[in-house]
């Protein structure tokens, strides 16, 4: 029988969900997307896919999509539909009014890793040439900013060392604070394949994740550490390496600064980092720490993959440095099957990091305070630029609460749902005079917005994404933007309305500008990516078709650096009032705060966030499987359905954060990483109370909560 | 050229937040030898902090002598006013 729904169109594009960046053929019938077929030639996925990329695409035409720009004078008023010209003129006038009244530094912008490289680049250009400040940040601030900081400090490049396929040459795979089976499923399958072939698997994670233990994959060592003790445990692994002389002396002598190694060896070799000291505090068996260290050091090829379980801590950047130190100490860099590799959460987090959407850095991780670097941009953009760093995203919210930050342009982000200590974020939003949200849907943040600019999904635009292995791939328009404009076109219009003339006919011209101003992207162009299928940076005259493995002969600064990574316990502590530690994560079928996947059939697999509780803790509180419980922290409270689970240890509870109604970030703290202000989502002290049957849901803020 | 606080005397962010942030940075650099640890904090404050945040911290130092700040963080804050404090920013270990 002939297929009654045979597609009449097909476009190869890149998935916008996790950082794997799978290639897909988006197939259409009469202009409607009907299915996503994994692209066999995709170098990141080789024809594989997960249930998000494969099935969760219908959000693009969901009834909730906003198709007309909206404005209102105050958040108490209803929205009013206006034309694009009206909305852009109004937004620009408001930004100019506020800057005239409150100072140039009173406005800022945030870009999104759901948008393309070209759109992210334009957002930072908007801040620098239109707002005339460096108040620009990107959403990796709240996920992988410690990666950029920690890997830059140790290895000289804030990005993955390897390409994904390199794992097939690894003998030992160390996974820290990540669950690729659910968070990065296509890569997770590759990892499992290598484990089935015989590679050793070491997992450091508070939970017994699918990666640590499943039907076809079991970790040789699983250190189910207490949340918040990453740095102690990683330093303890290093302690074993240096005190048992397992380090790679020749590699260290040739590729590192020996004096820095000695300084580091003295620190981690101190008895306070012995497994027998750290183990009891971290809740893990000291013998298992020793065993893991020996397996990693012996390789011969040992590789590290990590996720937000490392970065989202008050010592997130320190934790990343620990991983860099470990790899350096054992010479596990610069060839296939080794390296340190962040697993990026969103499709274009790496692009968000590369393209200058930072308050302190231009593209290519170069300081705005560096006059020579600044001069190259000033020459190209024909404008004097602010020589000082701007505010980071959490700083912007802090400044709004303090009354000194009054306007924000948010592209494709939902801080009210996704950022920590929701009460604080809401207070910041309410304190601003103009909040401009550019998104597909009226998200939680839009409740506090004055201008709503309807954006376009990745299926409705042209551009590029950079995945977690530094691979730049094409994003191609499958259907026209529902609201008429691609996101980059909206930013161009707003920049023009602010008085700085911008003109691009196509995103290819924006990538050309990026290449002109960014050493790692020097050779990139749409033509090259079309010809090669995808290209990994650095791409330059020495590597005209890109680079699969970093640090093969030298590091970006010549030699690599050992950083001193002392353990500083988080100030978020359990006590009699809040005796349990809440940690958070994701599930396979849903994506981040669920803006897209909640609006697809994937809700059939996972329709609500639940709270995993160990039976010991449940019994002590009279909680049965399926009961609703009130989760209270020092910052707020929410209500979740409990699930009795042996995936968490006693004393630890876990939830996902995909659904707005579960309000997980009503309870998370606003403690954050010392270097980057990345929030400490992974450690919040809480208490649970069973909700009596029949009592309505509630979510409120304790009187003691700081706004 | 950079924007300054809206009104003279306003801290761009509440002072307690800034002191906490500065001390956290100080905690990281504590294992470094004297000299390096202050330089590490200085480099970070100079090249990662909005100048209004630095100004507010220094105003606090001037007004109180640095109440609430770790000793080496206070020393680092004072280095921001020393000749050469504007040298190019860098990642990696403190260069002192």
CATH number at residue A510: 3.40.50.740
| CB pair distance less than 8 Å for A104 and B2 | yes
CATH number at residue A23: 2.20.25.90
In B57-86, the residues whose Cβ lies within 8 Å of chain A are: 86
What DSSP string runs through A538-556? P-BTTBTT--SSS-SS-BT
Residue A389 and residue B6: Cβ atoms within 8 Å? no
How many domains does chain A contain in total? 4
Query: In this prediction, what percent of chain A has a pLDDT beyond 90?
Result: 84
Question: Last residue of a domain, which of A316, A342, A368?
Answer: A342
CA A136 – CA A110 distance, rounded (Å): 6
Q: Is A4 a domain residue? A: no
Q: Provide the number of CB pairs (under 8 Å) joining chain A to chain B.
A: 122
3-state secondary structure at position A605: coil
* C-alpha to C-alpha distance for B28 and A266, rounded to whole angstroms: 16
Q: Do A135 and A154 reside in the same domain of the chain?
A: no
A36 plus A83 within the same structural domain: no
Same domain, A150 and A130: no
Question: From the candidates B1, B2, B21, B59, which should be mutated to test the interface with A, based on the most A CB atoms within 10 A?
Answer: B2
Distance from CA of B73 to the nearest CA of A (A): 13
What is the average pLDDT across A251-264? 98
Among residues B87, B12, B4, which one has the least CA distance to residue A386?
B4
Q: Which chain A residue lies closest to B89 (C-alpha atoms)?
A: A367
Residues A359 and A278 in one domain: no
A136 lies in the same domain as A149: no
d(CA A212, CA A218): 6
Would you tell me the crossing angle of helices A286-298 and A275-282 to the nearest 10 degrees?
A: 120
In a 10 Å sphere around its CB, with 0-12 CB exposed, 13-18 middle and 19+ buried, how is residue A216 labelled?
Answer: exposed
Examine the domain organization and report whether A517 and A641 are in the same domain.
Answer: no
Nearest to A569 by CA among A389, A313, A397: A313
Confidence category of residue A590, pLDDT binned at 50, 70, 90: low
Cβ contacts of B88 on chain A, cutoff 8 Å: 367, 369-370
pLDDT band for position A102 (cuts 50, 70, 90): very high
Residue A158: closest CA among chain B residues belongs to which residue? B91
The nearest CA of chain B is from the CA of A578 a distance in Å of 22
Taking residues A134-151, report their average pLDDT: 92
CB atoms within 10 A of CB A6: 9
Classify residue A432 by its DSSP letter.
Answer: -
Across the interface, whether the CB atoms of B3 and A103 are under 8 A apart is answered: yes
CA atoms within 13 A on the CB side of A391: 31
- Contact predicate A648/A206, CB 8 Å: yes
Same domain for A201 and A272: yes
Chain B interface includes A619 (CB < 8 A): no
Q: HSE, CB side, 13 Å, CA atoms: give it for residue A296.
A: 39
Angle at A235 between CA A232 and CA A240, to 5 degrees: 125
Cβ-contact A116, A351 below 8 angstroms: yes
From the list B11, B27, B48, which residue is nearest A389 (CB)?
B48
- Boundary residue ending a domain (A342, A360, A390): A342
Q: How confident is the model over A308-312, as a mean pLDDT?
A: 93
Residue A707 pLDDT > 60: no
pLDDT over 70 at A620, yes or no:
yes
> Mutation test of the interface with chain B: which of A261, A398, A428, A570, choosing the one with the most B Cβ atoms within 10 A?
A398
- Name the 3-class secondary structure at A672: strand
> Is A399's CB within 8 Å of B30's CB?
no
What integer best gives the mean pLDDT of chain A? 93
CA distances from A549 to A163, A271, A476 (A): 6, 36, 27
Strand pairing of A221-223 and A200-204?
parallel
Is the minimum CB–CB distance between A401 and chain B shorter than 8 Å? yes
Residue written as token pair 């100080």: B26
Find the closest chain A residue to B26 by CA distance.
A674
Per-residue pLDDT at A662 exceeds 80: no
Residue numbers of the domain that contains A317:
145-342
Among A130-144, A193-207, A575-589, the minimum mean pLDDT is found in A575-589
* Facing residue for A561 by CB, picked from B1, B17, B93: B93
Q: How many CB atoms lie within 10 A of CB A142?
A: 26
What's A628's domain CATH number? Answer: 2.40.40.20
**Co-location of A323 and A187 in the same domain:** yes
CB contact under 8 A, A561 and B92: yes
What is the secondary structure of B48-80 as a DSSP string? HS-HHHHHHHHHHHHHHSSTTS-HHHHHHHHHT
Asked if residue A110 and residue A40 are part of one domain, the reply reads no
Are A529 and A429 found together in one domain? yes
pTM, two decimal places? 0.95
Comparing A404 with A659, the larger pLDDT belongs to: A404
Is A370 an 8 Å CB contact of chain B?
A: yes
d(CA A431, CA B60): 25
Residue A417's pLDDT is 86
Asked if residue A568 belongs to a domain, the reply is no
pLDDT at A182: 87
- Helix pair A286-298, A230-243: axis angle to 10 deg: 60
Tokens of B91: 């990642």
Work out the average pLDDT over A255-272: 98
DSSP state of A501: -
Residue A49 near residue A24, CB atoms below 8 Å: yes
Best residue in B4, B6, B9 for a mutation probing chain A (most A CBs within 10 Å): B6
- Measured in degrees and rounded to the nearest 5, phi and psi for residue A404 equal -110, 0
The answer to whether the CB atoms of B50 and A260 lie below 8 A apart is no
Q: What angle do CA A242, A246, A252 make, to 5 degrees?
A: 75
Query: Position of tokens 């008023």?
Result: A77
Q: Is the pLDDT of residue A705 over 90?
A: no
Query: Does residue B6 register a pLDDT over 50?
Result: no
Cβ separation of A387 and B2 shorter than 8 Å?
Answer: yes
Domain boundaries, chain B: 24-79
Contact status, residue A113 vs residue A352, Cβ threshold 8 Å: yes
User: Residue range A159-180: average pLDDT?
Assistant: 97
Residue of A nearest to B88 (CA): A370
- Among A85-99, A521-535, A588-602, the least confident range: A588-602
Kindly list the residues from chain B whose CB atom is less than 8 angstroms away from the CB atom of residue A262.
none
Domain membership of residue A553 (yes or no) is no
Whether residue B13 and residue A675 make contact (CB cut-off 8 A), yes or no, is no
User: DSSP readout, A239-255?
Assistant: HHHHHTT-S-HHHHHHH
- Together in a domain, A413 and A475: yes
Distance CA A224, CA A241 (A): 20
Tokens of A500: 């700085």
Residue A106's φ and ψ, nearest 5 degrees, are -90, 5
Residues A383 and A494 in one domain: yes
Taking an 8 Å cut-off on Cβ atoms, the answer to whether A103 and B14 are in contact is no
The Cα angle at residue A21 between residues A20 and A22, in degrees rounded to 5: 100
Q: Beta-carbon neighbour count of residue A46 at 10 Å? A: 16
Residue that has been written with the tokens 């700083």 in this structure:
A395
- Distance from first CA to last CA of chain A, Å, rounded? 63
Residues contacting residue A103 through CB under 8 Å, at least 6 positions apart: A404, B3, B4, B5, B6
């Amino acid at each position: 029988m002939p297929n009654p729904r045979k597609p009449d169109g097909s476009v190869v594009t890149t998935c916008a969900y996790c950082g794997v960046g799978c290639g897909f053929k988006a197939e259409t019938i009469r202009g409607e997307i009907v299915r996503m077929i994994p692209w066999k030639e995709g170098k990141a996925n080789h024809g594989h896919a997960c249930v998000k990329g494969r099935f969760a695409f219908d959000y693009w035409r969901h009834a909730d999509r906003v198709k007309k720009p909206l404005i209102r004078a105050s958040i108490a008023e209803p929205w009013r539909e206006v034309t694009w010209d009206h909305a852009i003129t109004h937004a620009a006038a408001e930004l100019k009014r506020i800057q005239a009244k409150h100072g140039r530094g009173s406005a800022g912008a945030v870009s999104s890793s759901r948008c393309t490289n070209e759109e992210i680049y334009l957002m930072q250009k908007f801040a620098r040439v239109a707002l005339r400040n460096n108040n620009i940040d990107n959403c990796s601030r709240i996920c992988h900013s410690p990666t950029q900081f920690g890997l830059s400090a140790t290895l000289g490049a804030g990005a993955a060392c390897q390409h994904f396929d390199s794992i097939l040459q690894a003998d030992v795979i160390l996974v820290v604070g990540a669950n690729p089976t659910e968070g990065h499923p296509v890569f997770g399958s590759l990892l499992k394949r290598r484990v089935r072939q015989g590679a050793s698997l070491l997992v450091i994670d508070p939970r017994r994740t699918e990666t640590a233990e499943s039907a076809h994959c079991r970790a040789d060592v699983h250190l189910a550490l207490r949340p918040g003790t990453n740095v102690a445990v990683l330093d303890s692994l290093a302690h074993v390496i240096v005190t048992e002389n397992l380090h790679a002396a020749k590699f260290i002598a040739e590729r590192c600064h020996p004096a820095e190694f000695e300084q580091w060896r003295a620190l981690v070799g101190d008895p306070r980092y012995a497994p027998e000291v750290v183990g009891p505090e971290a809740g893990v068996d000291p013998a298992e720490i020793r065993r893991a260290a020996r397996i990693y050091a012996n390789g011969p090829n040992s590789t590290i993959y990590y996720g937000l379980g490392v970065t989202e801590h008050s010592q997130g950047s320190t934790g990343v440095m620990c991983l860099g130190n470990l790899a350096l100490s054992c010479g596990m860099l610069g060839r296939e099957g080794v390296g340190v590799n962040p697993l990026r959460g969103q499709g274009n987090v790496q692009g968000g990091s590369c393209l200058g959407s930072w308050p302190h850095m231009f593209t290519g991780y170069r300081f705005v305070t560096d006059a020579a670097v600044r001069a190259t941009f000033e020459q190209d953009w024909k404008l004097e630029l602010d020589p000082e760093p701007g505010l980071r995203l959490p700083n912007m919210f802090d400044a709004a609460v303090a009354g000194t930050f009054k306007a924000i342009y948010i592209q494709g982000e939902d801080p009210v749902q996704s950022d920590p200590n929701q009460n604080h974020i809401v207070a910041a939003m309410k304190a601003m005079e103009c909040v401009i949200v550019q998104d597909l849907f009226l998200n939680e943040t839009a409740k506090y917005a004055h201008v709503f600019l309807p954006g376009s999904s990745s299926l409705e635009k042209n551009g590029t994404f950079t995945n977690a292995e530094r691979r730049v791939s094409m994003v191609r328009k499958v259907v026209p933007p529902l609201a008429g404009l691609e996101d980059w076109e909206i930013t161009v219009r707003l920049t023009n309305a602010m008085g700085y003339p911008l003109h691009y006919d196509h995103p290819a011209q924006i990538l050309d500008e990026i290449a002109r101003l960014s050493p790692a992207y020097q050779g990139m162009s749409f033509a090259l990516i079309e010809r090669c299928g995808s290209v990994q940076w650095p791409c330059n005259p020495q590597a005209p078709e890109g680079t699969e493995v970093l640090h093969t002969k030298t590091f970006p600064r010549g030699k690599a650096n050992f950083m001193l990574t002392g353990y500083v316990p988080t100030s978020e502590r359990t006590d009699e009032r809040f005796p349990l530690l809440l940690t958070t994560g994701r599930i396979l079928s849903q994506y981040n705060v669920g803006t897209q996947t909640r609006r697809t059939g994937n809700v059939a697999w996972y329709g609500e966030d639940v709270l995993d509780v160990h039976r010991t803790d449940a019994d002590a509180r009279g909680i049965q499987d399926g009961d609703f419980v009130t989760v209270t922290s020092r910052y707020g409270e929410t209500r979740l359905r409990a699930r009795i689970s042996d995936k968490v240890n006693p004393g630890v509870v876990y939830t996902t954060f995909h659904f707005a109604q579960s309000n997980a970030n009503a309870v998370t703290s606003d403690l954050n990483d010392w270097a980057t202000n990345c929030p400490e989502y992974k450690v919040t002290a809480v208490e649970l109370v069973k909700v009596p049957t029949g009592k309505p849901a509630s979510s409120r803020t304790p009187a003691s909560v700081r706004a | 050229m950079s924007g300054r606080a809206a009104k003279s005397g306003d801290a761009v962010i509440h002072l307690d937040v800034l002191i906490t942030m500065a001390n956290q940075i100080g905690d990281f650099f504590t294992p470094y030898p004297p000299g390096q640890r202050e330089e590490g904090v200085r480099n970070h404050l100079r090249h990662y902090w909005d100048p209004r945040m630095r100004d507010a911290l220094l105003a606090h130092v001037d007004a109180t002598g640095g109440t609430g700040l770790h000793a080496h963080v206070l020393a680092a804050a004072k280095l921001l006013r020393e000749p050469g404090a504007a040298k190019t920013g860098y990642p990696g270990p403190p260069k002192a």
